[in-house]
Chain A
């Protein structure tokens, strides 16, 4: 659920993805700025919160870091129910984990909150020599779509934010949360439907708009933004190497 005070936004965020893709490591990096080579395996899910300043506003993320083993899949709805955002994590050195990520995307598209913003994170980007899932060729990424490669094409096609991240080097970790935060602030300044989002009164909206000069007021209901977003999202986050 996401709800907003004058310039503070609470956003429930869920991390989904294959076992060992690095979900907990991303969270640990984001929340505590740490990295552990061996992170305890998560059972059920673990909860964290972290507040991020986005322009003039703050976004408090309430993060559910879920267990990755396939059989834990049956618990996932409890964690993504009412979430304002999801990060689906795969390991760039594992095509299996990318396949799993696609399944999560499908599931969220069908079952999740339609207003949810979904980001795809290709984690372990520091392990370039072991890469199995291609993102794009840094030289050619400005070429037309057909020159783009697997992960980004997939993200573009499905309306997802996409970034390659490394919990180990911290590359793009804060950025992906920042982009989500920015998006949520934009999305929430319009009136939402009944999917766990707060509906704002006129004066609330006016108040927050004054304090958030850079937040983009959404043109469409948030659920429809997803279709247009990938291009912006991916350009904003082109530093994958």
Chain B
């Protein structure tokens, strides 16, 4: 029963059956909106230019694949695992590890080929290590143990299953729902502080599409929540999420001061849009391949990537944003931008070359600085709400 039938490489399947998109001559002339399926089976609406961009992206993905295969041929299949510089190694080995690390970082920012994603993500994110610390049968036992249990979390999960990327050719099928359910319910029992938080449905769904097995998707979800992202991002009052939003606002002020000042004049709180970005890790706003390119870097470099990408979205549209007069305009600009970012490099180039560096240490410090204020605010709010009920 459990999951074996769904061990299918959806990404591969979709790519194999996906012909090059050729918009009709009429569509070209009229610059019509066309609907098509992207690499991961999502229906996308775009114009002819978007289709052309998507075709170019496919070609780039293929080229990037060749780069990775060549490296594997030269350095061995798991070369990217030998990037940890250990002091016990001989200096020549140390050097090669360092060289590998530099190559790897650059390579990952250029994108992991979809076929290699499950393997590379699993190793580099720490999911493999996490899984190795528990008995082999952990996930299997967990899903069996929780089957049939009803909790507030399971009820909410059931409610959201058909509302998670509805219309997707695999996710929105009985098999897709059942698989996503096992992953989310399993996790809700693994960490009862998180239980189920809306948003995780989208994250887990996309993980399922990428990873080869639901078990690996489960471990990716675990490593994401337990190691990659800030603590308490999804727990009862989303305190971690509030912290990230404050840190983000500080960065926006530093890195894009003109935009920050203008938005402040419009009384536009950037969290109005950025909250969803951080909670769904862009999966609801960016096209699928672009989202996964962000995740490639996220799993290797950590949560700072979310700040880079969020800042880049604002930065890319600086001039347009400065011309906006209303909150609605700002949102429209940002939405239009994110929905049409079919070329991941367009976004990631800005994110990593034009924002300037933000180290994990800086971000940790910023979080520490913001935490007391967030806690005080949430606490005060809770007390006020409780006093309403008295």
Contacts and interface: CB of A to CB of B under 8 A. Distances in A.
A47 B272 contact: yes
B272 A41 contact: no
Contacts of A106: 388-389
B267 interface: yes
Contact of B279 (A36, A38, A39, A44): A44
B384 A75 contact: no
B160 A41 contact: yes
The residue in A43, A77, A82, A106 that gathers the most chain B C-beta atoms within 10 A of its C-beta is A43
Given A36-B166, A38-B162, A43-B284, A82 B267 contact: yes
Contact residues of A: prevailing secondary structure = mixed
Nearest to B236: A71
Contacts of A110: 384, 388
Contacts of B381: 74, 77
A212 interface: no
A139 interface: no
B177 to A, nearest CB: 11
A155 B79 CA distance: 67
A40 interface: yes
Nearest to B165: A40
A19 to B, nearest CB: 7
A240 to B, nearest CB: 26
Contact of B242 (A43, A67, A68, A74): A74
Contacts of B235: 71
A19 B196 CA distance: 13
A82 B266 CA distance: 13
A42 B272 CA distance: 13
A20 B108 CA distance: 39
A67 B198 contact: yes
Interface string A105-121: 01100110000000000
A74 B378 contact: yes
Given A62-B328, A69-B197, A74 B238 contact: yes
B279 A79 contact: no
A20 B328 CA distance: 25
Given A41-B201, A71-B236, A19 B159 contact: yes
A237 interface: no
A72 interface: yes
A5 B327 CA distance: 17
A111 B198 CA distance: 25
B275 A75 contact: yes
A78 interface: yes
B154 interface: no
B24 to A, nearest CB: 26
Contacts of B236: 71
A78 B159 contact: no
Interface in B172-204: 197-199, 201-202
A79 B271 CA distance: 10
B280 A79 contact: no
A107 B237 contact: no
Nearest to B152: A70
A39 B389 CA distance: 32
B30 interface: no
B163 A47 contact: no
Interface string B189-229: 00000000111011000000000000000000000000000
Nearest to A74: B237
B116 to A, nearest CB: 29
B279 A43 contact: yes
Contacts of A44: 272-273, 275-276, 279
Given A43-B280, A110-B388, A72 B198 contact: yes
Given A67-B198, A68-B198, 12 more contacts: A1-B267, A19-B159, A40-B165, A41-B163, A41-B198, A43-B198, A43-B199, A44-B272, A44-B275, A69-B198, A71-B197, A82-B267
Interface of B: 156, 159-160, 162-166, 197-199, 201-202, 234-239, 242, 267, 269, 271-273, 275-276, 279-280, 284, 326-328, 331, 335, 378, 381, 384-385, 388-389
The 7 A-B pairs of least Cβ separation, nearest first, read A44-B275, A44-B276, A38-B162, A41-B163, A69-B198, A38-B166, A43-B199
